[in-house]
């Protein structure tokens, strides 16, 4: 009626229970290790995502001022705005004075993408593609009677954009401190001289393009615009500056209604 378990059977049951217990402990330990590793991975990933998200918000460019450069531009010539017909006056260049936004890290301007949006379309320019030498726009240009040209440009390879330093801690195009100031110059018109195969950029200082022989460039040159279409009086252009981290600064260029007898205008 009753089944009796002898000492040997009782020992086998105890060993089996111990084996099951040890197996459960091992499984629990492995599971705990997996959970700890997963938690560590997720924490690392979350921290990286958080840092990336922070960079996309914080590492922005701050635009401090905008200046428009005015000239008379026709189908085959450009000239000073003095005494020119209002129908021919356009904004041929835009100078942006920039620094880093509060709390931002280092920003390499050569890696910044500028998106220029007008009623006529959208143009994208990587600022670094327009630089042969960080000092080229101001110091390496040839001069003739006050006119300036870019003598180091490679035909067809340089975007119509310049970066020049105003105040900075280093000798490169990286904004490392809130006291750094740089000027981004977006040139509305760049001219390729057919005779000298040298890129001739519309001078910031004067209203006459020069070629590599310090002569007025042939008026039959082909124009390459930084943005789509002309910027006439009353027009607007949206400028989006996106850093390598993905942070975007949006500024709007508003051209004054009248450009008569004005070489430069605040925007």
CA dist list (Å): 32 to 23, 38, 41: 14, 10, 14
Collect all residues with Cβ–Cβ distance below 8 Å to 266 and sequence separation of at least 6.
65, 66, 67, 68
Model pLDDT for residues 75-133, shown as the tens digit of each residue = 555 555 566 666 778 887 788 999 999 988 899 988 899 888 888 778 888 887 654 33
Residue 173 confidence (pLDDT) = 84
Structure-model confidence comparison of residues 39 and 263, the more confident one? 263
CB 104 within 8 A of CB 58: yes
What gap in Å lies between CA 174 and CA 148, rounded to an integer? 26
Phi/psi for 11 (5° steps) reads -65, -35
User: Which region among 36-45, 73-82, 220-229 has the lowest average model confidence (pLDDT)?
Assistant: 220-229
**63: helix, strand or coil:** strand
The proportion of the chain whose per-residue pLDDT surpasses 90, expressed as a percent, equals 12
Averaged pLDDT score across all residues of the chain: 67
Structure-model confidence comparison of residues 72 and 237, the more confident one? 237
Find, among 151, 240, 224, the residue nearest to 190 by Cα.
224
What gap in Å lies between CA 248 and CA 260, rounded to an integer? 34
The contacts found for 42-50 with CB under 8 angstroms, 24 or more apart, are none
Collect all residues with Cβ–Cβ distance below 8 Å to 42 and sequence separation of at least 6.
none
Confidence of residue 12 (pLDDT cuts 50, 70, 90): low
Residue 29 confidence (pLDDT) = 83
Tokens standing for residue 88: 């021919």
CA dist list (Å): 116 to 22, 186, 250: 68, 10, 10
């Amino acid at each position: 009626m009753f089944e009796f378990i002898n000492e040997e059977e009782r020992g086998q049951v105890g060993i089996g229970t111990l084996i099951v217990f040890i197996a459960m402990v091992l499984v629990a330990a492995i599971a705990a290790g997996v959970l700890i590793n997963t938690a560590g991975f997720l924490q690392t990933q979350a921290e990286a995502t958080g840092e990336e998200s922070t960079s996309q918000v914080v590492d922005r460019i701050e635009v401090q001022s905008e200046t428009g450069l005015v000239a008379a531009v026709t189908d085959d010539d450009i000239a000073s705005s003095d005494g020119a017909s209002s129908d021919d006056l356009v904004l041929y260049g835009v100078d942006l004075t920039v620094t880093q936004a509060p709390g931002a890290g280092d920003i390499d301007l050569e890696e910044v993408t500028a998106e220029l949006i007008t009623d006529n379309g959208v143009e994208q320019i990587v600022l670094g593609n327009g630089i042969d030498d960080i000092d080229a726009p101001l110091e390496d240009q040839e001069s003739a009677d006050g006119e300036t040209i870019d003598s180091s440009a490679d035909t067809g390879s340089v975007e119509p954009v310049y970066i020049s330093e105003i105040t900075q801690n280093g000798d490169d195009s990286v904004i490392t401190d809130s006291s750094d100031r740089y000027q981004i110059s977006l040139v509305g018109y760049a001219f390729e001289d057919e005779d000298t195969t040298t890129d001739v950029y519309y001078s910031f200082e004067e209203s006459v393009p020069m070629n590599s022989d310090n002569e007025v460039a042939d008026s039959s040159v082909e124009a390459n615009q930084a943005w789509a279409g002309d910027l006439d009086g009353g027009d607007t252009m949206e400028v989006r500056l996106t850093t390598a981290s993905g942070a975007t600064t949006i500024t709007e260029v508003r051209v004054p209604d009248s450009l008569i007898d004005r070489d430069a205008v605040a925007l």
